[in-house]
Structure 1
Amino acid sequence: MHTLPHLLPSLDTPRSIAILGAGLMGRLLAVQLARRGHRVAVHGIGGPDAEGSAARVAAAMLAPLAESAITEPGVVRMGQHGLARWPELLAELPEPVFFQQNGTLILWHRQDAADAARLRQTLARTQDSVAGLPALQVLDGAGVAELEPGVAGRFHQGLYLPGEGQLDNRQLLTALAAAMQQLNVQLHWHRARNLQDFAPGEPGQPELLLDCRGLGARAQWRELRGVRGEVIRLHAPDVTLARPTRLVHPRYPIYIAPKQDGVFVIGATEIESDDQSPASVRSTLELLSAAYAVHPGFAEARILELATQCRPTLPDNLPAVRVLAPRVLEVNGLYRHGFMIAPAMLDAVLELLHTGQSPLAQRFGLLVQLSGLPQEMTET
């Protein structure tokens, strides 16, 4: 394990810390560091609403077993950590944030049974390799109807993943902004700053610089790419779904996340592109058609928003922490798992900052890179 005490200033005493990026990770780190008595300044390209941030366009599902279909066991473990930590983090905030832990329901039509069987095998392998995951439950038609009466008669098989959850991403971003203000964090909204604008450790400069800019940091993370997602927010008061629901489909495996007051977040598309133009007609029709196939009540829903955003992704689709230079630490590559793994990333980074090493990072297989430093500074 790399040790970093000679690369980052000790946080045993209050320090001045600048954070670049006011998305999810930037806000979480700002709040936690300010609570510990540090003088924190946040520089964000957007405003308090986090416009332009990938965190604003998200379903914020906390589904480690469901996501294991496309990711590694380390990310699943990070998701487990997040499910336990989110209630603690939310309890500290000055404004309420919707949080739910009613599990995940996975459904499919008869013609997609083969794809569903392969998914079930993948999830079973994850349960064999990652300790502590609640056992998935195989449902027949009656079981589906009992769990979600609103889809009774439309689906004759399903999988239920107990313990998984979700939260309201926009309520969270707003509550974090309020917490930063309450903790006297210096907030510099609508100001894009680069690493070159700072000289950490010099007189009049912050003692530590944390870069959480996502795709805004591509000048330093040359291998970063954007993965485009498209999300529809609907108001559908006639739809009664009590938990995030996923539909297995060979082309558009959608998710439907019910929020408060009849609002639903629906998404599926994942396109290897940095394009942030509006959603295409094809993807919009596919999302809405799939939602209607799950619950006919969506026919009378009202479209509140059709949004697109690109998520910062590294070549292996895994997150990473990097020390680019003394007093400069970068966090990036959260991909589509931002809300699920953010508490684990937060706690691992806090360990690194306070002790110079992180047992959590080792447990999660989280890559901690020492990049751009002289060899003698990276020896452990």
Structure 2
Amino acid sequence: MQPLLSPSSSVTILGAGLLGSLLATSLARQGHRVQVFEAGGPDGVGSAAYVAAAMVAPLAESVVAEASIVRMGQHALARWPELIAPLPAPVYWQQNGTLIVWHRQDAGDAARLRGLFEHRQAEVAGLPAMQPLDAAGVAAADPALAGRFSQGLLLPGEGQIDNRQLFAALAQDMQQLGVAVHYDSPRELGDFRPGEAGQSDWLIDCRGLGARQQWQALRGVRGEVVRIHAPEVTLARPTRLVHPRYSIYVAPKENHVFVIGATEIESDDRSGMSVRSALELLSAAYTIHSGFAEARILELSTQCRPTLPDNLPGIRMPRPRVLQINGMYRHGFMQAPALHDVALQWLNQGQSPLAAQFDLALQGTAVT
């Protein structure tokens, strides 16, 4: 197969969200001329990834994700440190695992959850064995929870990244690499004719829900998170609470900042958080650690995540020299490194050996 990109190709990317920014920096570092058009501003607020808790938890998420997404998560655990390493600003990354806890009345739900984990571990090779914990084990895993829970599960090796630091570092990297980023500049596929005189050689569309006019199967799934500052809480790793209605997570960032989330609503509504969601998230966090009672609310955030009918990502070529990547749903930080690597393989080699590992197929027209 022949490479699709020639040396020093010109590439236009639509969308400076997580995947668009990663591809822009990688292509520029390879020597290509890159420009990016972003509908929002330079802070990344318009991106679903900006609001996310940014956890890379393949086993924890396996109960709501297909095996291919779990494999992407495994890939991401190895790739995120490599992707962060060349960035010009520090990005917080930890790989201390995920702790799952529950109250006694929810032991039945916890047992069912454990059974689902065991099934996925048998299905996907390489997932680390979960570690059942008694009260002493919970206290040893996280002293902040000593005496609060009598049972738990530790899922070793799972990670999380600081998404806000990542966006800032990627923006700085694009500037230093000479990527021309046009903020507050929404564009459509029809605005470009890649390959023609005066146009870029290739067009890559990473706009998420902004691409729905061309990818009509896309829908929005609303997520809501609370970002708080809790100086009295010292959780060492992402902690999830088993609950009959939802599985809440508390993801610690640096300097006692925590992201709390769980909600998932089939809706394109991007208005503010509902009172019910705020009450449920905050009250559940309080049951994990009473120190959250004195926390200060930094943000009540909502965002709609781009989702395809099967809840899996898609890569397609609607016409020659146009590559569209979309549908990362709620697992953007688990999928982005895999989609980034697959896209670069196709562009640089004309094929992607990685694609089969993640059940990805390039859909659409033949490459010209």
Q: CA deviation at 1:20?
A: 0.2
Distance 1:122 1:367, change over 3 A: farther
Q: CA deviation at 1:152?
A: 1.5
Out of 252, 267, 270, which is 1:273 matched to? 267
Q: Which residue of 1 aligns with 2:160?
A: 166
- In 2, Cα distance between the equivalents of 1:368 and 1:245? 36
Are the counterparts in 1 of residues 4 and 346 from structure 2 also a CA contact under 8 Å? no
SS in 2 for 1:308: strand
Structure 1, unmatched stretches of 5+, are none
SS in 1 for 2:331: helix
What TM-score results when the alignment is normalised by the length of structure 2? 0.98
Q: CA deviation at 1:12?
A: 3.6
Alignment partner of 1:340 is 2:334: yes
- In 1, Cα distance between the equivalents of 2:354 and 2:177? 27
Cα offsets for 1:183-216 (capped at 9, x unmatched): 0001100100000110111111111000000000
SS in 2 for 1:335: coil
Q: Give runs of ≥4 in structure 1 deviating > 4 Å.
A: none
Aligned length: 368
Matches within 5 A, 1:227-242: 227-242=221-236
Q: Which residue of 1 aligns with 2:205?
A: 211
- In 2, Cα distance between the equivalents of 1:172 and 1:134? 27
- In 1, Cα distance between the equivalents of 2:221 and 2:83? 28
Q: Which residue of 2 aligns with 1:115?
A: 109
Q: Which residue of 1 aligns with 2:83?
A: 89
Output the aligned Cα RMSD.
1.3
Are the counterparts in 2 of residues 252 and 287 from structure 1 also a CA contact under 8 Å? no
Cα offsets for 1:68-93 (capped at 9, x unmatched): 01011111111111000111111110
Are the counterparts in 1 of residues 209 and 306 from structure 2 also a CA contact under 8 Å? yes
Q: CA deviation at 1:367?
A: 3.6
Q: CA deviation at 1:233?
A: 0.4
Corresponding letter in the other structure for 1:132: G
- In 2, Cα distance between the equivalents of 1:249 and 1:298? 18
Q: CA deviation at 1:155?
A: 0.9
- In 2, Cα distance between the equivalents of 1:153 and 1:51? 39
Alignment partner of 1:324 is 2:310: no
- In 1, Cα distance between the equivalents of 2:107 and 2:353? 41
Cα offsets for 1:40-71 (capped at 9, x unmatched): 00000112211211011000001001110101
Corresponding letter in the other structure for 1:254: I
What TM-score results when the alignment is normalised by the length of structure 1? 0.95
Q: Percent identity between the aligned chains?
A: 68
- In 2, Cα distance between the equivalents of 1:213 and 1:359? 25
Q: Which residue of 2 aligns with 1:187?
A: 181
Cα offsets for 1:135-181 (capped at 9, x unmatched): 10001111001111111122111110000000100000000000000
Matches within 5 A, 1:279-298: 279-298=273-292
SS in 1 for 2:101: strand
Q: Which residue of 2 aligns with 1:129?
A: 123
- In 1, Cα distance between the equivalents of 2:97 and 2:7? 42
Structure 2, unmatched stretches of 5+, are none
Q: CA deviation at 1:123?
A: 0.8
Q: Which residue of 2 aligns with 1:304?
A: 298
- In 2, Cα distance between the equivalents of 1:344 and 1:36? 18
- In 1, Cα distance between the equivalents of 2:361 and 2:259? 31
Cα offsets for 1:284-339 (capped at 9, x unmatched): 00000000000000000000000000000001101110111000000000001101
Out of 25, 29, 42, which is 1:35 matched to? 29
Q: Which residue of 2 aligns with 1:106?
A: 100
